[in-house]
Amino acid sequence: MARGPDGQGGGAGYSLADQLFNRGTLGVLAQEYSVLPGFAPDRFIETALPRFEGLGVHARLEVIAEALAEQLASDFPEMVDQVEAALPSPLDPSLRDDDFGRFIHAVPGVLAMRHGMDHPERALDLLHAATQRFSMEYAIRPFLNRWPDQVLARLDAWVEDPHYHVRRLVSEGTRPKLPWGMGISLDPLLPLRFLDALHGDETRFVTRSVANHLNDLSKIAPDAVLGRLEDWQSGARQDAKELDWMTRHALRTAVKRGEPRALALLGYRADLPVRAQLSLDPPSLPIGETLEIVAEIEAPEGGAVMVDYRLRFHRPKGSAEKVFKLRSVQLKPGQRLRLVKRHRMKGDATTFRLHPGPHAVILQVNGRDVAEAAFDLREA
C-alpha cells in the first residue's frame, strides 16, 4: 500500500508511526541524551509518549523535538553543542548502501528547522553531523531557500566529504522534485555541478541519489540531463556497468515518454522497423478481473527492443494513460518474440481509480506505438 508522508499505510491495524516511535525508541533517545548534565530521561519520555496518539511519523517527530527542547538550551548554538554531544556513533562510513540509520535520529533536523533558521552556519554544522546518523535531505531544504549562498558553499565542500551519507545529502537535498519534500527556489540546473562531482562516487547510496536527481530533472530540462549523461559516458570517471545502471535509472521517465534521444543513449533505435500484433482476452470484463495481453513482435533487421504497454483508462471527464514495462531483449533478424502478460484491473488501486467504459492497450516498442487494441470494463 502506498504511504503518504505520515506513513500511515501498510494494511489494517498496521501503523508505521507506532513501529518507529514508541516507548522503546524514545528510551533509546533518552539514554543518548542522558549524557547531558541535568537531562531527565523519564521526564522526556512521559512528556512525549502521551502526545503520540493519532499522530503520524512527521507529527511525532515534532512532538519529540518539542519534548527534547524543553530540556535543552534556548540559545541555539548552545543547543547544537548539546545535541552533537548526545549523537550516537556515525553510521559505518566504509559501507556502500542499505545503511539508513534509525528514524528516531531524524530529530536533530527538526530541531534545526524549528530553532536554527536565524543561525545558518551552526545549523549546517548540526545537519552535517546528524546526516551521518540519519539523512537530513528534508531538513536542509528550508535553509537552502532562505540562505542559498551559505548552503551552496557548504555543499561545494561536502561533495568531497569522507562520509558517503554527507555526499548523498548534497544530491538528495537539492533534488528538484524530492518526494514529500519542501519545494526549493533554487535554479534546478545549478546542482548539476554537484552531480558532475558525485556521479563517479563509489557508493550505490550516492549514485542512486544522483540518478533519481537526474530523473527529477528530466521532467523539467530533459536535454540538460541527456547532455550530462553523454558527457559522463565520454569522461569515463565511473565504472561502465555502474554508469549504465545510473543512466537507465535516470532516464526511466524519459523512456516512458518514448524520447528518441534517451532511447538512443540506452542503445534502442526509435526507428527500428518492427512488425507487431496485439490481442486481448477477454474483450470485455468486470473491474477486478484479469485481462490477458498477448503481444507478438518481429524485427526484420534485428536489434535491441524495449517493449512496454500503455493502458488508456476511461475517465468521466476524458482519458488517462499509464505505462507498464514488459521486456527488453536483443532480437535476431526475423526472430519472433511472443509476450504474455496478465494484468488485473484492480478496483482498489491506491494511485488511480478505474471507471466502467471503453479502455485500450497500446503496445510500444522503443518508444513508438506499434499496435493498439480496445476492451471494455464493466462494474464488478
Domain pair 72-265 / 275-378, same fold: no
In this predicted structure, what is the pLDDT of residue 10? 44
In this predicted structure, what is the pLDDT of residue 352? 75
d(CA 216, CA 212): 6
Higher-confidence position of 40 and 255 = 40
2-16, 23-37, 254-268, 335-349: segment of lowest average pLDDT: 2-16
pLDDT tens, 89-102? 999 988 888 788 99
d(CA 140, CA 160): 18
pLDDT tens, 158-216? 999 999 999 999 999 999 999 999 999 999 999 999 999 999 999 999 999 999 999 99
- For residues 337 and 345, the answer to whether their CB atoms sit within 8 Å is no
Residue 49 cell numbers, joined? 509518549
If pLDDT is split at 50, 70 and 90, which confidence band does 380 have? confident
Segment 243-271 mean pLDDT: 92
pLDDT exceeds cutoff 70 at 251: yes
In this predicted structure, what is the pLDDT of residue 7? 43
If pLDDT is split at 50, 70 and 90, which confidence band does 5 have? very low
Q: List the end-to-end C-alpha distance of the chain, in Å, as a whole number.
A: 22
Higher-confidence position of 174 and 9 = 174
Segment 64-86 mean pLDDT: 98
In this predicted structure, what is the pLDDT of residue 14? 64
Which phi-psi region, left, alpha or beta, contains residue 16 (left: φ > 0; alpha: ψ -120 to 50)?
alpha
Residue 77 cell numbers, joined? 548554538
CA-to-CA dists, residue 249 to 176, 215, 265, angstroms:
16, 7, 12
Give the rounded percent of residues in the chain with a pLDDT score beyond 70.
96
pLDDT exceeds cutoff 50 at 264: yes
Residue 184 cell numbers, joined? 526549493
pLDDT tens, 100-121? 899 999 999 999 999 999 999 9
In this predicted structure, what is the pLDDT of residue 125? 98
If pLDDT is split at 50, 70 and 90, which confidence band does 1 have? very low
CA-to-CA dists, residue 158 to 122, 152, 199, 236, 327, angstroms:
15, 10, 14, 22, 39
Average pLDDT across the chain, whole number? 93
pLDDT exceeds cutoff 70 at 350: no
pLDDT tens, 305-338? 999 999 999 988 888 999 999 999 999 998 999 9
Segment 267-286 mean pLDDT: 95
In this predicted structure, what is the pLDDT of residue 97? 82
pLDDT tens, 212-229? 999 999 999 999 999 999
> How many Cβ atoms from other residues are within 10 Å of residue 290's Cβ?
14
Domain boundaries, the chain: 72-265, 275-378
User: In the sheet that 318-331 helps form, which strands lie side by side, from edge to edge?
Assistant: 284-286, 368-378, 357-365, 303-315, 318-331
Segment 338-343 mean pLDDT: 97
Q: Which helix (H) or strand (E) holds 284?
A: strand 284-286
In this predicted structure, what is the pLDDT of residue 347? 79
On the CB side of 280, how many CA atoms lie within 13 Å of its CA? 22
Tell me which architecture the domain covering 275-378 has in CATH: Sandwich (2.60)
Instruction: Give the helix ranges, DSSP H, for 147-273.
Output: 148-158, 164-172, 192-198, 204-218, 222-235, 240-250, 252-256, 260-265
d(CA 243, CA 199): 8
Segment 285-310 mean pLDDT: 96
In this predicted structure, what is the pLDDT of residue 13? 55
pTM comes to 0.85
Segment 258-264 mean pLDDT: 90
Radius of gyration of the chain (CA): 25
Which CATH number describes the domain made up of 72-265?
Answer: 1.25.40.290
Structure letter (DSSP) for residue 355: -
pLDDT exceeds cutoff 70 at 61: yes
For the chain, how many helices (H) and strands (E)? 16, 8
Please spell the DSSP secondary structure of 120-156, one letter per residue: HHHHHHHHHHHTTTS--HHHHHHHHHH-HHHHHHHHH
Give the rounded percent of residues in the chain with a pLDDT score beyond 90.
87
In this predicted structure, what is the pLDDT of residue 11? 46
Segment 23-45 mean pLDDT: 97
